[in-house]
Amino acid sequence: MRSHRGTLLLACMWVVAGPALADGVTRQPLDQGWQFRLAASSTAAKDHADATTWMPAQVPGSAQTDLLALGKVPDPYYRDNEAALQWVGLTDWDYQLTFDAGAKPAAGEHVELVFDGLDTFADIELNGKPLLKADNMFRQWRAPVEKSLHPGSNTLVVHLHSPIARLLPWLLKQPYALPGEFDTAFGDEPKGKQTSNYVRKANYQYGWDWGPRYVTVGIWQPVWLERWQGWKLEDFHVAQSRVDADVAELQAQFDVRADKAGPAEVHVAWTAPDGTKGEKSQQVTLVAGQNHLSMPVHIDHPQRWWPVGYGAPNLYHFDATVSANGKDVASVSRDTGLRTIELRRDKDKWGRGFAFVVNGVPIFAKGANLIPFDSFPSRVTDARMQSVLQSAVDANMNMLRMWGGGTYQSDAFYAMADRMGLMIWQDFMFGGAIPPYDKAFRESVRIEATEQVRRLRDHPSIVLWAGNNEVQTGWESWPDREELRKAIPKEETARIENGMRELFDHTLRGVVTDLSPGVPYWASSPSTDYEGKANVETDGDFHSWEVWSGSKPIAHYLDATPRFQSEYGLQSFPVMATLESFAKPEDMAAESTVMRAHQKFDKGNGNQRLLLYIRQEYGEPKDFPSFVHLSQLMQAEGIELAAEHLRSARPQSMGSMYWQLNDVWPGASWASVDYFGRWKALQYRARHFYAPVDVVPIRRDGSTQVSVVSDRTEVFDAQLRTRVIDFDGRVLRDDTRPVHVEKLASTPVTTTTDAGFLGKADPARTVVSFDLIEHGTVVAHHLLYFGAARELKLPKPDIEATLHKDGGSIFVTVRAKRLARGVWIDFGDIDSRLSDNAFDLLPGESADIRVSGNENLDALRRALKVESVVDWTKGGAAH
Ligand code: BMA
């Protein structure tokens, strides 16, 4: 029966070139030979007449990137070019392709034109006849074309409408506009009249507080011509009803479309991570039309998927095949991981918990929020995503939240996360704007969610689906929402509220519960899953923005211990090399037009907020590069405090996800990895504060609680060495005590007053060093100061730095005579990743830092620069 595997009945039936994919479908990619032009009907046609003739285009792509490729618009990320490109998103564009469809479709052959993604309002014509209308960026669009396709040459035209131009005239006639997120800075919409609420399109493209306004228009995903006959395997899914150490009870689920009823066989073969194989088949009777078939599969002692740090991210490979009349007619392959996910919300003395439990192990989530990788999604490569995800793993993160104001990511993204053991908290794409309540909108979202959950549900990395970002908390607490409620009739408020409830509590929850019941659904981030108010410390997840947005000092992070802090953040500037990519020497000032244009918080005023925090912690920056350095250090030290506070508060808190990991463009933002993948100080620090074992001194009101946090699943014994040292290197105290470190816990070790550490020593010239030692090795290290850096008498450290090769690797050895705060090793324009950076050096201490990415020792030597806090502040060193 199985002897025909691999020789697909359908693959050879069709003449036009194209890869024969095994689901019973042959796909002809329509990605070459596209042209585009500015639609003659657009008002912009007058000013941009040269764009009204057909020009070569890229699919997938956008009008913006196509114009850029032709040199018709300047680099959208350079200086303040953003304003000069706005017209593109306000214009309608036509895309056209002439393609060869080969011979006339055979009798009974199904031919469909498939758009994996259209951005966003599109009218499609095939050979001059209307074929399809699209209005949702996150859906796939299909149309049967057996009847409209010509043998040989065919012409496909996609008319794309500017979403703003299309919606604004309508919106201006409405009695009110639903509150959105960020108003345009370019006058293309009146204040408070945001069209983005009313369209299913990536919200961040309308401008965010970390990114520019580039409202793309285009065909942003691949286009195909699909053909099949007889049978099509529309979906294959491995549902997991029980997974533990003993057994995995699975259902191999096949969705088969059949042209006629009849007997068939479904077969599944799998390869376990260790190479062990298994298979199972079942005779079935197909009906004509849709068939949903489910075959139980039992795997003993499954090799389960584990998040990074807890075991191997094991993946099983499944090959699913449908055969009929003794021949294989359709097959697909899937890699999936077997694991259970529980969102544990036990009632306890602090309220109600919020903990991810994977395969029965409660996991403290350590990570950050992900935003899109670029303003222009189609130019994101797998290599760029891989590098950002690898940075997360390298910094000991285990979870990332794919935030709701962007796009659902590609299959490749989730496959990488699967392989790296990264857990993904996946928002549905709502960034904070209040959605319309009409049924048609909700139905469009339901279809979108159904497609996305089906596409992604076999990825073990996805551990949560969340309805939206900040829609509920925004509605409950933001002033513009409050104003709207006052301005409209009560019944209208009720309609808006019911609409949101319907969408986020029922529609989206229903999709996840039906299609991916093993993964929890959460109505909104932050929320209590519609069991009460959103954004409370005692229940659910929490976004903490009083520090930064509310201008509260960094120490305020210690005043709250939410159950799971899914957002909190501090901004910084990226390194000078990144700034040089978009700014000229004369732009290198915090308040220059260009630097303000790349600072999106509070319409460019964010640099003042940065300065506020820098002054609070370090004092006045000496010059612009110093401001950049200090912004990074301030961010790193502030987030470190919050993250370590949360980790040490385990199990009251079970998650720390700072805002934000990455950037859409080069500029000031909350990111720890910049647009070019360069690590800021925070990313280096995260590697320490998210390490599996960390020693955490938390100082409050003159008293310090030292805890050891451990993500290990076994207890262990260690010693805590405590040294009190003055900034010149005099050791005032050195003692060691045993510590029994609990597993998956925070173990309190001591509480000591400042006087207890210092005796008569000067708090402004003294540091405490904690080393956690296991079997003679330091496994965690932390310093404690008795005041903000500006209150300390930081000495001139006299740092020596030497570069040398050892084996195949290059190392830089740095040594400080006196205490050095925030040491930053820099190679300017030479891109290199260091094994550590942005660290403090104790007097007389040295550190060997591995340099990777560039092996040219001489060039590195010439470029090497090592500085620390005293080099960046106006006051400089104390002596
Ligand atoms: C959060 C996010 C984003 C925003 C960030 C920084 O609330 O959800 O909308 O970019 O804060 O302000």
What is the dihedral angle through the alpha carbons of 226, 227, 232, 237, rounded to the nearest 10 degrees?
Answer: -20
For residue 450, the CA-to-ligand 1 centroid distance in Å is: 26
* Residue from 755, 658, 775, 770 nearest 709 by CA: 770
| Within a domain: 399 | yes
DSSP H/E element including 438: none
Burial per residue of 263-282, b for 16 or more beta-carbon CB atoms within 10 angstroms, e otherwise: ebbbbbbbbbbeeeeeebbe
For residue 663, the CA-to-ligand 1 centroid distance in Å is: 13
Decide the pairing of beta strands 462-466 and 521-522.
Answer: parallel
Alpha-carbon span 797 to 815, nearest angstrom: 9
- Evaluated on CA atoms 176, 178, 184, 189, the torsion sign reads negative
Ramachandran assignment for 700, one of left (phi > 0), alpha (psi -120 to 50 degrees), beta (any other): beta
Write the DSSP symbol of residue 617: H
Instruction: Out of 401, 476, 547, 567, give the residue to mutate to test ligand 1, the one with the largest number of ligand atoms within 8 Å of its CB.
Output: 567
**Closest ligand 1 atom to the C-alpha of 208?**
10
**Closest ligand 1 atom to the C-alpha of 403?**
8
Write the DSSP symbol of residue 527: -
Instruction: Out of 403, 471, 663, 664, give the residue to mutate to test ligand 1, the one with the largest number of ligand atoms within 8 Å of its CB.
Output: 403
- Evaluated on CA atoms 680, 684, 685, 686, the torsion sign reads positive
Decide the pairing of beta strands 865-867 and 820-826.
Answer: antiparallel
The label of the residue with tokens 């929020």 reads 369
In a shared domain, residues 715 and 844: no
Residue nearest to atom 8 of ligand 1 (CA): 469
**Closest ligand 1 atom to the C-alpha of 601?**
12
In a shared domain, residues 309 and 428: no
For residue 526, the CA-to-ligand 1 centroid distance in Å is: 11
In a shared domain, residues 535 and 414: yes
For residue 434, the CA-to-ligand 1 centroid distance in Å is: 15
**Closest ligand 1 atom to the C-alpha of 525?**
8
For residue 347, the CA-to-ligand 1 centroid distance in Å is: 29
**Closest ligand 1 atom to the C-alpha of 469?**
8
For residue 403, the CA-to-ligand 1 centroid distance in Å is: 9
Alpha-carbon span 641 to 500, nearest angstrom: 36
Pocket-forming residues, ligand 1, beta carbon under 6 Å: 208-210, 405, 432, 469-470, 543, 567, 659, 670
Instruction: Please measure the distance between the N-terminal and C-terminal CA atoms of the chain and give it in whole angstroms.
Output: 86
* pLDDT score for 22: 62
CATH number at residue 61: 2.60.120.260
| Within a domain: 345 | no
* pLDDT score for 343: 98
Burial class (CB in 10 A: 0-12, 13-18, 19+), 107: exposed
In a shared domain, residues 520 and 620: yes
Between helix 606-617 and helix 624-648 the angle, nearest 10°, is 70
**Structural domains of the chain, count:** 5
**Closest ligand 1 atom to the C-alpha of 209?**
10
What is the dihedral angle through the alpha carbons of 71, 73, 77, 79, rounded to the nearest 10 degrees?
Answer: 110
Beta carbons within 8 Å of 358's beta carbon, 6+ residues apart = 306, 307, 310, 339, 340, 341, 342, 423, 463
DSSP H/E element including 505: none
In a shared domain, residues 239 and 214: no
| Within a domain: 877 | no
Question: How many residues does the structure list for the chain?
Answer: 879
3-state secondary structure of 6: coil
Range of the domain at 291: 229-336
Alpha-carbon span 283 to 285, nearest angstrom: 7
Instruction: Out of 659, 664, 672, give the residue to mutate to test ligand 1, the one with the largest number of ligand atoms within 8 Å of its CB.
Output: 659
Alpha-carbon span 639 to 686, nearest angstrom: 8
CATH number at residue 738: 2.60.40.10
* pLDDT score for 29: 98
In a shared domain, residues 535 and 492: yes
What is the dihedral angle through the alpha carbons of 493, 475, 468, 660, rounded to the nearest 10 degrees?
Answer: 160
Residue nearest to atom 1 of ligand 1 (CA): 567
Residue nearest to atom 4 of ligand 1 (CA): 209
DSSP string, 173-213: TSS-----S---SSSSS-TT--GGGGSBS-GGGEEETTEEE
Domain boundary among 302, 321, 336: 336
* Residue ranges of the chain with per-residue pLDDT less than 70: 1-22, 879
For residue 431, the CA-to-ligand 1 centroid distance in Å is: 9
Instruction: Out of 196, 203, 204, 209, give the residue to mutate to test ligand 1, the one with the largest number of ligand atoms within 8 Å of its CB.
Output: 209
DSSP H/E element including 403: none
**Closest ligand 1 atom to the C-alpha of 543?**
7
* pLDDT score for 16: 34
For residue 728, the CA-to-ligand 1 centroid distance in Å is: 43
Decide the pairing of beta strands 347-348 and 351-352.
Answer: antiparallel
Domain boundary among 637, 672, 707: 672
| Within a domain: 68 | yes
| Within a domain: 685 | no
| Within a domain: 718 | yes
* Residue from 365, 300, 364, 367 nearest 338 by CA: 300
For residue 210, the CA-to-ligand 1 centroid distance in Å is: 9
For residue 371, the CA-to-ligand 1 centroid distance in Å is: 10
Q: How many CB atoms lie within 10 A of CB 75?
A: 11
In a shared domain, residues 244 and 317: yes
Quick check: 825 and 801 in contact, CB under 8 A? yes
Alpha-carbon span 505 to 77, nearest angstrom: 39
Token code pair at residue 344 = 């544990």
In a shared domain, residues 301 and 315: yes
Instruction: Out of 568, 610, 660, 664, give the residue to mutate to test ligand 1, the one with the largest number of ligand atoms within 8 Å of its CB.
Output: 660
Alpha-carbon span 176 to 581, nearest angstrom: 42
**Closest ligand 1 atom to the C-alpha of 404?**
8
Domain boundary among 225, 259, 281: 225
In a shared domain, residues 387 and 475: yes
Quick check: 250 and 298 in contact, CB under 8 A? yes
* pLDDT score for 386: 98
Which CA distances in Å does 171 have to 165, 442, 748? Answer: 10, 18, 57
* Residue from 763, 769, 793 nearest 781 by CA: 769
* Residue from 723, 746, 725 nearest 736 by CA: 723
In a shared domain, residues 720 and 833: no
Q: Where are the beta strands (DSSP E) in 715-757?
A: 716-726, 731-741, 745-753
Alpha-carbon span 83 to 185, nearest angstrom: 9
Quick check: 162 and 91 in contact, CB under 8 A? yes
For residue 601, the CA-to-ligand 1 centroid distance in Å is: 10
The label of the residue with tokens 């965690």 reads 780
Token code pair at residue 879 = 């002596």
Alpha-carbon span 39 to 93, nearest angstrom: 5
Alpha-carbon span 298 to 208, nearest angstrom: 48
In a shared domain, residues 510 and 629: yes
For residue 693, the CA-to-ligand 1 centroid distance in Å is: 30
For residue 203, the CA-to-ligand 1 centroid distance in Å is: 12
Residue nearest to atom 12 of ligand 1 (CA): 209
Which CA distances in Å does 291 have to 266, 324, 366, 696? Answer: 12, 14, 42, 57
* Residue from 216, 223, 225, 221 nearest 93 by CA: 216
For residue 530, the CA-to-ligand 1 centroid distance in Å is: 21
DSSP string, 824-852: EEE-TTS--EES--SEEE-TT-EEEEEEE
Beta carbons within 8 Å of 525's beta carbon, 6+ residues apart = 401, 404, 425, 427, 466, 468, 469, 470, 541, 543, 566, 567
| Within a domain: 774 | yes
Quick check: 224 and 246 in contact, CB under 8 A? no
For residue 571, the CA-to-ligand 1 centroid distance in Å is: 11
| Within a domain: 879 | no
Phi, psi dihedrals of residue 471, rounded to the nearest 5°: -70, -45
* pLDDT score for 615: 98
In a shared domain, residues 122 and 211: yes
Alpha-carbon span 110 to 322, nearest angstrom: 18
Alpha-carbon span 298 to 175, nearest angstrom: 59
CATH number at residue 473: 3.20.20.80
The maximal CA–CA distance of the chain, rounded, in angstroms, is 95
